[in-house]
Amino acid sequence: MRDQKFYLHSPDTAPTDLIKTCSDFPPVSPYRRFPFSDIPKTTQDLYQSSIFRTQYLVESPSGDSFIVIWCMAGGKMEKETSRLMCDTKGFMVFKQDHGKKLCSYTQDIGDLCIFLGKNESFCVSATKYPGLNPNSVYFEGSETGFGFYELSSNTVHDLTHLAPFSTFYLWLAPLE
């Protein structure tokens, strides 16, 4: 913890400051997200045309923070398992600038790889883990399968077409 507080992040403007905790739990504060800026038209179109969107807060090893929006197309029913499958259309990444109080759209996170799933999101350096594709977002979900998205080329790479049937699969951050 940077400042001995727990934070709650909400993808919208929900009033997280109304949450009261018991006296045995440390203070909980709303996480302040800054307004988005510099969003290209094609990225706005991606957002508008996506049926499902999920937002994540991710912190890099160096302390930079990103808001990542996972955009998915409408689902289709998988005959083999009778579950709804969605196609990943892309990701929008915004780097938070605490000085300017803005979230700037970016397609370049350098050597970093962002991991998203049903559990905690995290970020690692591709240099430290050979085989990872730098400047990419890795994703997993029972409704999407496993894959990664190259930010610079806006390309989705499916690592599995259909995730093995399970309640949840979770990325686990490597132990340092």
**pLDDT tens, 124-175?**
999 999 999 999 999 987 677 788 999 999 999 988 755 555 556 677 888 7
Using CA atoms, how far apart are residues 63 and 48, in angstroms rounded to an integer?
Answer: 30
1 confidence band (pLDDT: 50, 70, 90): very low
What tokens appear for 164 in the block? 């093995």
Contact between 40 and 93 (Cβ < 8 Å)? no
pTM, whole model, 2 decimals?
Answer: 0.78
Asked whether residue 173 is domain-assigned, the answer is no
Q: Are residues 88 and 13 in the same domain?
A: no
Count Cα atoms within 13 angstroms, Cβ side, for 68. Answer: 29
Q: Are residues 8 and 92 in the same domain?
A: no
Residues in the chain: 176
Q: Are residues 22 and 41 in the same domain?
A: no
Q: What is the mean pLDDT of the chain?
A: 80
Q: Are residues 131 and 46 in the same domain?
A: yes
Q: Are residues 63 and 131 in the same domain?
A: yes
Nearest residue to 142 via CA among 70, 58, 78, 68: 78
Asked whether residue 108 is domain-assigned, the answer is yes
Quickly count: other Cβ atoms within 10 Å of residue 50's Cβ: 21
Q: Are residues 14 and 43 in the same domain?
A: no
Q: Are residues 12 and 53 in the same domain?
A: no
- Domains in the chain, number: 2
What tokens appear for 175 in the block? 């132990």
131: domain range?
37-158
